């Protein structure tokens, strides 16, 4: 009986503690913009508002494009079909709202159309240009060779890389009041001294910067698109940034990383005459490749080569031009490799 009571008490305490952890994770993510055909904040706090001219709001049609994951109209494009730009205002943020003092992490997928020979503000917290009202701005400025940077009046952290042109790239920048930490596609590549101030209320904008309330700077428009923009109220570590890039984080917070259990099924039929099917499963998003080799190690076919979301897939192989024999097919992901044999009989 004592053992049962102890077990019940332990389970109760564990569940309570787990609940506290989950709630803490929910609080970490303060805004999440998926841009799936709208400007909604998935967290439900501050939806975006379109700003289309210098002095206020005017009705306009947002421009969407295919998202990083292939979703139709799943990303916001800040350049419309006529070459016009616009900005999105997503609220005025306070230090209390942002959580941990002087800490913030911003993550997003970016599709950069290229340099304009001018300043480009991607996302910023800024009401005007004065130091006390300009908290941070994530930019690609021509004055910094279009390198990804984080700028505040009087303080700039310029990284060693630019977002590639016309290629969906995952970006994360963490700020702790002392440094800015730069990530691309889940890997940290740079850190620079940077002073972040969260002690003031200021406005969050995407697609441009402002000098005064609602008055955007036409020379600062972002020549690109954004998808899956997230704001976390603390500095995320490298594993957490990688989890977001790999699709292991949702609006309930950062999930614990679980070892991937990728599966490569035996081809069917096997042995086969000319055509066979191969099924494989991914438990998380990953760059994926399936290649066929002969027994001498020569590559004879590439069946899959690209980024795939988590799920189960089937691919067929037509080997009608090859001779009878045993072949090796191999599944390779970012951190997993497995091979199997199959036999072709004619």
Q: Where are the domains of the chain?
A: 30-254, 263-344
Q: Which of 11-20, 265-274, 275-284, 294-303 has the lowest mean pLDDT?
A: 11-20
257 DSSP 8-state letter: P
Cut 0.75: pTM above it: no
Q: How confident is the model at residue 286 (pLDDT cuts 50, 70, 90)?
A: confident
pLDDT, tens only, 157-205: 999 999 999 999 999 999 988 999 999 999 999 999 998 765 567 788 8
pLDDT at 324 over 70: yes
Phi, psi of 226 (to 5 degrees): -130, 150
Q: Which CATH number describes the domain made up of 30-254?
A: 2.60.120.200
Read off the pLDDT of residues 54-90 as tens digits, 9 standing for 90 and up. 444 444 567 899 999 888 999 999 886 666 677 888 8
Record: fold of 263-344 = Immunoglobulin-like (2.60.40)
d(CA 172, CA 160): 14
- Per-residue pLDDT, 122: 94
Residue 143 phi, psi (nearest 5): -70, -20
How many CB atoms lie under 10 A from the CB of residue 230?
Answer: 22
Is 267 a residue whose pLDDT tops 90?
Answer: yes
Q: How far is CA 220 from CA 48, 108, 139, 164, 254, in A?
A: 19, 19, 9, 19, 33
* pLDDT score recorded for residue 284: 74
Distance CA 235, CA 119 (A): 27
The torsion of the CA quartet 222, 227, 228, 232, rounded to 10 degrees, works out to: -10
Q: Residue 99: is its pLDDT beyond 50?
A: yes
Q: What is the pLDDT at residue 192?
A: 94
Contact 288, 331 (CB under 8 A): yes
């Amino acid at each position: 009986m004592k053992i049962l009571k102890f077990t019940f008490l332990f389970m109760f305490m564990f569940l309570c503690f787990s609940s506290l952890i989950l709630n803490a994770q929910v609080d970490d993510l303060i805004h999440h913009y998926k841009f799936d055909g709208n400007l909604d904040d998935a967290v439900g706090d501050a939806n975006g508002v379109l700003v289309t001219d210098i002095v206020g709001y005017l009705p306009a049609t947002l421009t969407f494009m295919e998202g990083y994951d292939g979703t139709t109209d799943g990303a916001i494009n800040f350049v419309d079909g006529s070459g016009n730009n616009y900005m999105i205002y997503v609220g005025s943020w306070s230090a209390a709202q942002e959580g941990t003092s002087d800490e913030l992490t911003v993550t997003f997928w970016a599709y950069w159309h290229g340099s304009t020979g001018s300043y480009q503000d991607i996302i910023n917290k800024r009401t005007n240009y004065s130091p006390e009202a300009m908290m941070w701005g994530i930019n690609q400025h021509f004055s910094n060779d279009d390198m990804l940077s984080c700028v505040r009046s009087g303080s700039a952290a310029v990284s060693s890389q630019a977002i590639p042109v016309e290629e969906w790239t995952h970006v994360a920048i963490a700020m702790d009041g002392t440094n800015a930490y730069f990530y691309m596609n889940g890997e940290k590549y740079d850190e620079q001294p940077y002073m972040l101030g969260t002690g003031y209320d200021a406005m969050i904008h995407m697609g441009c910067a402002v000098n005064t309330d609602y008055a955007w700077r036409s020379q600062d428009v972002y020549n690109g698109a954004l998808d899956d923009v997230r704001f976390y109220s603390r500095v995320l570590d490298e594993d957490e940034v990688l989890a977001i890039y790999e699709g292991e984080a949702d609006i309930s917070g950062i999930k614990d990383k679980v070892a991937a259990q990728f599966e490569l099924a035996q081809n069917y039929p096997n042995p086969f005459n000319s055509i066979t099917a191969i099924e494989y499963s991914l438990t998380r998003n990953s760059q994926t490749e399936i290649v066929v080799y002969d027994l001498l190690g020569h590559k004879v076919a590439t069946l899959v080569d690209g980024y795939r979301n988590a799920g189960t897939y089937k691919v067929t192989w037509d080997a009608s031009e090859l001779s009878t024999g045993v072949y090796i097919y191999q599944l390779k992901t970012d951190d997993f490799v497995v091979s199997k044999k199959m036999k072709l009989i004619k």
